[in-house]
Structures are given as C-alpha cells and as structure tokens.
C-alpha cells in the first residue's frame, strides 16, 4: 500500500464519516427538544447564527480531510490498530473543528468584551467546546470506530 493510496482512502472515508457526524449533530438536538411536532425537527431554521453553522460544517470537512489522510497512513501503511486510530482521529476532528468554529464567535462578539463583566473566553470558547463534547463524544467514538474499520476494509480490497 502506497502512502498516496492510503491518503485517498482516508479522505474518502473521512468525508463520509464527517457527513454522518453532521447528520448526528443535527439529530441530537432534535431528539433532546422533541415535543412531538415537526417544529422540533425544524429547529435549525430558528437559529440566528447561520454563518457559524456553515463555517462549522466547513471546518468539520476540512479537519476530516486533514485527519483522514493521517488515519489512512497510520492504518494502512503503518498497520496501527484501526479502532484506536479511528477513535483518536474522530475525537480530534470533533475537538479541532469545534475549537475553530468557536473562535469565529469569539472574534465576532467576544473580543470586544474582554475586560468587561463577562468572560468571553468562557462564553465563546469553553462553553461551546463543553456542550459539543458532552453530546458529541459518544457519536465521535462510534463514528470513529466505523471510520477506522472502513479504512481498513477499503485498504484490503
């Protein structure tokens, strides 16, 4: 297995895995706030931070691409454990994409409030990281396992 082929497989599988993660990220709040009506499913249309959501999706795909290459090489070339590697890069994708997305809100609104009553680092970086990791760590682990397994299976074709 060449490194270039391993990278291509990693990117392909990462793109699918990130797409699954984004669907899960949409469905988790839908499930949490479900009130039996279609309005619960349409919560995304009531938010006022579309730019952040779109950039978050872009960061997730970007980080998936970046870490997908690394995972492909580790699993297919270096023969590392596919489960642990998949989970490691699944969590790293979640953490880095969330952090980068949090920085957008921090620079849009929080940076003006440094030294004020509230703590912008806490409000715009820590809180989003906490809540997304709180609800996203288990899906990231599960998708990461499937990610690693799928890379391994695609590499053995």
What is the tens place of the pLDDT at every residue in 88-140? 999 999 999 999 999 988 888 766 666 666 777 888 889 989 999 999 999 99
Contact 121, 110 (CB under 8 A): yes
Confidence of residue 28 (pLDDT cuts 50, 70, 90): confident
Residue 9 has pLDDT above 70, yes or no: yes
The per-residue pLDDT of the chain, averaged, comes to 90
pLDDT at position 45: 72
Angle CA 118–33–20, to nearest 5:
95
Average pLDDT in the 14-25 region?
96
Give the side-chain half-sphere CA count within 13 A for 140: 21
Split at pLDDT 50, 70, 90, the class of 48 is confident
User: What mean pLDDT do residues 65-74 have?
Assistant: 98
Q: Which residue has the tokens 């309005």?
A: 39
Burial class (CB in 10 A: 0-12, 13-18, 19+), 56: buried
pLDDT above 90 covers a percentage of the chain that reads 64
């Amino acid at each position: 297995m060449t490194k270039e082929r391993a990278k291509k497989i990693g990117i392909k599988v990462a793109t699918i895995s990130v797409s699954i993660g984004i669907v899960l990220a949409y469905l988790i709040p839908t499930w949490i706030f479900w009130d039996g009506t279609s309005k619960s499913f349409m919560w995304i249309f009531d938010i006022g931070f579309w730019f952040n959501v779109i950039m978050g999706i872009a960061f997730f795909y970007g980080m998936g691409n970046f870490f997908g290459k690394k995972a492909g090489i580790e699993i297919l070339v270096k023969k590392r454990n596919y489960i642990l590697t998949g989970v490691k890069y699944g969590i790293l994708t979640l953490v880095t994409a969330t952090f980068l997305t949090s920085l957008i809100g921090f620079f849009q609104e929080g940076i003006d409030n440094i030294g004020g009553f509230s703590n912008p680092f806490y409000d715009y970086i820590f809180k989003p990281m906490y809540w997304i990791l709180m609800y996203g760590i288990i899906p990231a682990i599960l998708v990461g396992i499937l990610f690693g397994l799928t890379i391994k299976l695609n590499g053995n074709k």
